[in-house]
Structure 1
């Protein structure tokens, strides 16, 4: 790989080479947030009215891995909607934080749409969904409590961490994330809760001690009537 040039310069070069006639382009991601690492890439969003549909493509240019998110002037709204339905607003977040590389007086409106979605938050969980998630967390806890194989326990604990973070965020009508964004989303909402969950997971990973993680999950579930197993049912017909 060739030496990296300035990320903004690399992004401009990419746009001028591949999409010289696009209506707008944004640079988003860790380099924009000041969080870039040695393995960070450039997230570039383009809006081009000649595109039939949206697509995603990866490149390595100017020494940078580049993730391209290509949209026409309406297709991005489908992705906005899909992201909001799964409560992981990847594209709205990128658009909001993005640095303008090119604009023909359309970026302001698109950013306004993205900001409005982010500000409104995800749709609240129904009582039925909360019950289902309580059941999943209870089931995962039972697996951990009864686990006798360290190799399996590592994966169970990781799943409990994800489910618990999701439960906290979604019952508070907050956006969630995946991978590193799971923690970032929880930390943004409640830094203390994020630290406590990390501590509980570390306690298991380092010493095989499950008490802290079990206690954390029980405290999370407590305002929602705690664990759920007996009486849980889905799909049962009421017909006799």
Structure 2
């Protein structure tokens, strides 16, 4: 734990990508969340058109597990734009909240932080209805599950989905793994505590999910309709 993550990240980038325009060290390694297993998450931005971008690399350097996210400005733009409708701003967080180790990414960092602060766009009506329908369907499955194993699996799925939709209801960014909990805590600490406490109690999970559904407009089944685009079908060639 006495290793220097910033110095090691800087050395790695300069050795592996000497052409880098800038690089940012992100993740828990520079925070109170650092553990003995923390890795170095590094976003590296190369000159425009560099053939090494985009790519992701996993390696070990100076005893650190390292994840490298390599881009040029054009590919970085594309991946950042892709995150916004998905409501999972992983790359925005890494760039916007990371610590520079090479070059000066100040302008890009400010832009990423502005997106994070603004929050996601609200779901479109059809997306919101689909989310309500999905959670309603899981609740119904849990209510009528007779098999103990199936009930446990349904409860686990409902527990995770309810947390994600609680973030939708609060117009907050989503997350996976530890970031799901971190986002929920940032949104509503009491709600996060309720969610954690409910994890192994199907009745508590059901109550939590119903509360989330009420925040989204209530259960939705009767009358729900989703219209899909008609696929283009090519007629077979005549012999």
Report the Cα offset of residue 158 of structure 1. Answer: 2.3
| Structure 2 residue aligned with 1:83 | 83
Tell me which residue corresponds to 1:10: 8
**Cα deviation, residue 122, structure 1:** 0.9
Q: Tell me the secondary structure at the aligned position of residue 201 of structure 1.
A: coil
Please report the RMSD computed on the Cα atoms of aligned residues, expressed in angstroms. Answer: 2.0
Which residue number corresponds to residue 207 of structure 1? none
CA–CA distance in 2 between the matches of 1:19 and 1:54?
A: 13
1:22–1:48 CA contact under 8 A, matched in 2: yes
- 1:51 is aligned to 50
* Range with bigger deviation, 128-137 or 44-53: 44-53
- Alignment match, 2:72: 72
Match of 2:100 in 1: 100
> What is the TM-score when the length of structure 1 is the normalising length?
0.87
1:43 deviation in Å? 0.1
Give the aligned partner of residue 203 of structure 2: 211
C-alpha separation between the residues in 2 aligned to 1:99 and 1:223? Answer: 37
1:228 aligned onto 2:220: yes
Does the aligned pair in 2 maintain the 1:59–1:66 contact within 8 Å?
yes
Match of 1:21 among 19, 22, 25: 19
CA distance in 2: counterparts of 1:30 and 1:231, whole angstroms: 45
* Structure 1 Cα separation of the partners of residues 120 and 145 of structure 2: 35
Tell me how far 1:60 sits from its aligned partner.
0.8
Distance 1:40 1:66 in 2: 9
Mapping of 1:24-39 within 5 angstroms? 24-39=22-37
Aligned-pair CA distance for 1:33:
2.2
Are 1:124 and 1:171, in contact at CA under 8 Å, matched by a contact in 2? no
Following TM superposition, where does structure 1 have runs of at least 4 consecutive aligned residues deviating by more than 4 angstroms? none
